[in-house]
Structure 1
Amino acid sequence: MFDTMTFTKAAGGICGALLVFLLGKWAAEELYHVESHGEQAYVIEVEGADDVAEVEEVDFETILASASVEAGARVFRKCSACHQLVEGENGAGPHLYGVVGREKAAAEGFGYSDTLASMEGAWTPQNLSDFLERPSSYAPGTSMGFAGLRDIEERAEVIAYLDSLDD
């Protein structure tokens, strides 16, 4: 059947194969390891490489003016896991009813992080857009774990939706 000597030979064969594999990997890395040594010997010039197309910056207010409230309701589904739309009902995050124009860290009964609690001013559409783009960059130390909305149209749509709730 399967005795101790057979098991020892099989284990030795596996360990030997692993050793050969690791030594081969080490040798290949040493042979093909590329280091940069100074400047390039020659540079190939490409026509039009210096011509960079300028990207037209669109004002956030313009995008917000054309934002769809219905599309914002769909985007808000990402937020609904933590935020409520009923005034005074906080979830894992503060309620967002009337958030547009409301003072920062002003939702009753919610314990804000020190970063947000120390911020002054109101949640203007531009401030909300900056916050929603990447919350951890806008308010370092915030307890909000959301990665953010990269697309400016999505941010404008969700802000238009939130603004439409309280008339």
Structure 2
Amino acid sequence: MFDTMTLTKIGAGLFGAWLILLLGKWGAEELYHAEAHGEQSYVIEVAGAEEAEPEEEIDVMALMAEADISKGEGVFRKCSACHKVDGTDGVGPHLNGVVGRDVASVDGFGYSGALTSLEGDWTEEALFGFLLNPKGYAPGTTMGFAGLKKPADKVNVIAYLQSLN
């Protein structure tokens, strides 16, 4: 069934295909050098394009005055998969007493370097910014949550956490 010539043909076919793949890769690398273009390869300028307007500043304290603790408790269910409010740590640190507490200050919890490098307290404004985009606020954080997009949801959660102090 299989003789030496058949095995030689199969081997030559496999090595030939591998050689063609390597030559194609080499040719593509010679034609296009990604590292020469930096992070952004091409910039396409559009005639008449206006600059983006700066985002409107949000007055967190004014929103906090209208916050609803019961709605915040409902929104907190998204957080409760990782965070607890009974003083015990889960995947994330416990959040009772978080408003006004130093950043990365729960004893015994292993914070990521991104949070330990932050200084200050978890004020309402700091929590508002963190809850909007955790990875943008503290690049390198291990928190996998994408964030809360609605300002009302953020202030309601902050008010709920503040009520636990």
Q: TM-score, normalised by structure 2?
A: 0.66
Unpaired runs of at least 5, structure 1: 1-38, 44-49
Q: CA separation of 1:151/1:103 partners in 2, compared to 1, >3 Å: closer, same or farther?
A: same
Q: CA separation of 1:59/1:109 partners in 2, compared to 1, >3 Å: closer, same or farther?
A: same
- Per-residue deviation, residues 114-152 of structure 1 (Å, max 9, x unmatched): 010111100000000000001000000000000000111
d(CA) in 2 for partners of 1:121, 1:138: 13
The residue that corresponds to 1:61 in the other structure is 61
Shift of 1:86: 1.2
Shift of 1:111: 0.2
Which structure has the larger Rg?
1
Q: How does 1:8-157 map onto structure 2 within 5 Å?
A: 58-87=58-87, 89-157=88-156
d(CA) in 1 for partners of 2:160, 2:65: 12
How many aligned positions are there?
118
The residue that corresponds to 2:158 in the other structure is 159
d(CA) in 1 for partners of 2:107, 2:85: 14
d(CA) in 1 for partners of 2:81, 2:121: 24
d(CA) in 1 for partners of 2:86, 2:102: 17
d(CA) in 1 for partners of 2:155, 2:119: 22
d(CA) in 1 for partners of 2:106, 2:56: 37
- Per-residue deviation, residues 36-72 of structure 1 (Å, max 9, x unmatched): xxx99xx9xxxxxx9xxxx975511111111000000
Q: In structure 1, what residue type is equivalent to 2:109? A: F
d(CA) in 1 for partners of 2:57, 2:118: 28
Q: In structure 2, what residue type is equivalent to 1:152? A: P
The residue that corresponds to 1:34 in the other structure is none
Look up the SS of the partner of 2:103 in the other structure.
coil
Q: In structure 1, what residue type is equivalent to 2:112? A: S
Q: Which runs of 4+ in 1 moved over 6 A?
A: none
d(CA) in 2 for partners of 1:116, 1:58: 24
Look up the SS of the partner of 2:149 in the other structure.
coil
Q: TM-score, normalised by structure 1?
A: 0.65
d(CA) in 2 for partners of 1:129, 1:59: 10
d(CA) in 1 for partners of 2:98, 2:58: 24
Q: In structure 2, what residue type is equivalent to 1:110? A: F
Report sequence identity in percent.
51
Unpaired runs of at least 5, structure 2: 1-45
d(CA) in 2 for partners of 1:96, 1:58: 24
RMSD of aligned Cα (Å)? 2.5
